């Protein structure tokens, strides 16, 4: 089959590679335009665009799929479109172009966590199991019938980045299998059923730690926003970035937000028991081991996160 592939971030690259390895004819790649990256804000192609260019595939860069982009998609005559984290809505006229429609690889067990940040929200909610599905894309938000499903355990120390990396590879296999089934006429999508939960895109505020919350909630929150947008707190009015913490159930004698260096361990009080800081990044400095940072703060009478 002739396949249009749509995707933007690094987690979509394994799917592009898997489709090519499975022998599909990828006739074009749709991805978002170059974006500024790094402190110097250098305009950089998306990971999918970079990979497509390496492979010599035609690339369509677009921030939205308007009439002109729809015409470009139609010009390559795809039989089916595969989409993985493209980052934009696909309107009705474009959905109608491929004769087999659009197949979306989504990193949750739909209808749970419909939206842009399913893996992050799953970790933050404390789910033990998540997964990925392939489904027929419709104009509704992740509402289409499901072709295939896989499950993945959420590890107790998993960050969103780590879990998404695993799902990107297992999901790539699922996507290739789904397109193969469509090509042979064996695909049988079924309507979604179950409770619907939403996974809106994360903002910087989603990473702000409220030390009045229980340690378990703070642990899940920071793991869910790692690596992006990242966990953080405030100290003397400045933002301090935090890598994942480690709960310490036996330490219950610290007030919420109070920081204390005990031996080689840096503890912070929460609404329940303390958590151990692993690595921190003060404003204007590099990420560093928490004990090194705490020793540098030793001259202060007390350190309390806001």
Report the alpha-carbon distance of residue 84 to residue 5 in Å, rounded. Answer: 8
Report the alpha-carbon distance of residue 145 to residue 112 in Å, rounded. Answer: 14
Q: Where are the domains of the chain?
A: 2-183, 204-304
Q: Which CATH superfamily is domain 204-304 in?
A: Formyl transferase, C-terminal domain (3.10.25.10)
Supply the DSSP symbol for 34.
P
CATH 3.90.380.10 fits 2-183, yes or no: no
Q: What one-character-per-residue DSSP string does 208-257 give? A: B--TTS-HHHHHHHHHHTTTTT-EEEEETTEEEEEPPPEEETT---S-BT
Tens-digit pLDDT string for the chain (306 aa): 999 999 999 999 999 999 999 999 999 999 999 998 877 888 999 999 999 999 999 999 999 999 999 999 999 999 999 999 999 999 999 999 999 999 999 999 999 999 999 999 999 999 999 999 999 999 999 999 999 999 999 999 999 999 999 999 999 999 999 999 999 999 999 999 999 999 999 999 999 999 999 999 999 999 999 999 999 999 999 999 999 999 999 888 899 999 999 989 999 999 999 999 999 999 889 999 999 999 888 777 789 999
User: What pTM was computed for the model?
Assistant: 0.94
Nearest to residue 13, comparing CAs of 55, 63, 64, 60? 55
The rounded radius of gyration (Å) of the Cα atoms in the chain is 22
CB-based contact 152:198 (threshold 8 Å): no
């Amino acid at each position: 089959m002739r396949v249009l592939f749509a995707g933007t971030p690094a987690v979509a690259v394994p799917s592009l590679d898997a489709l090519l390895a499975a022998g599909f004819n990828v006739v074009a790649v749709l991805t978002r335009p170059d974006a500024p990256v790094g402190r110097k804000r250098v305009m950089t192609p998306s990971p999918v665009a970079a990979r497509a260019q390496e492979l010599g595939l035609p690339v369509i860069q677009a921030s939205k799929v308007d009439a002109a982009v729809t015409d470009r998609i139609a010009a390559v005559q795809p039989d089916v479109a595969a989409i993985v984290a493209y980052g934009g809505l696909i309107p009705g006229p474009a959905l109608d172009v491929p004769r087999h429609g659009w197949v979306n690889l989504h990193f949750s067990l739909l209808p749970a966590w419909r939206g842009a940040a399913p893996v992050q929200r799953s970790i933050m909610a404390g789910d033990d199991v998540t997964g990925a599905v392939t489904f027929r894309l419709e104009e509704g938000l992740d509402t289409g019938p499901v072709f295939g499903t896989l499950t993945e355990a959420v590890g107790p120390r998993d960050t969103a980045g780590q879990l998404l990396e695993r799902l990107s590879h297992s999901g790539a296999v699922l996507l290739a299998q789904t397109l193969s089934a469509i090509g042979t006429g064996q695909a049988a999508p079924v309507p979604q059923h179950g409770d619907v939960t939403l996974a809106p895109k994360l903002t910087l505020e989603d990473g702000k730690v409220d030390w009045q919350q229980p340690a378990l909630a703070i642990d899940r929150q920071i793991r869910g926003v790692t690596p992006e947008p990242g966990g953080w707190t405030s100290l003397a009015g400045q933002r301090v970035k935090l890598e994942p913490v480690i709960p310490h159930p036996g330490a219950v004698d610290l007030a919420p937000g109070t920081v204390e260096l005990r031996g080689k361990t840096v503890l912070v009080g929460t609404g329940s028991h303390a958590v151990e800081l692993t690595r921190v990044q003060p404003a204007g400095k590099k990420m560093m081991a928490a004990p090194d940072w705490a020793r540098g703060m030793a001259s202060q009478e007390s350190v309390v996160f806001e």
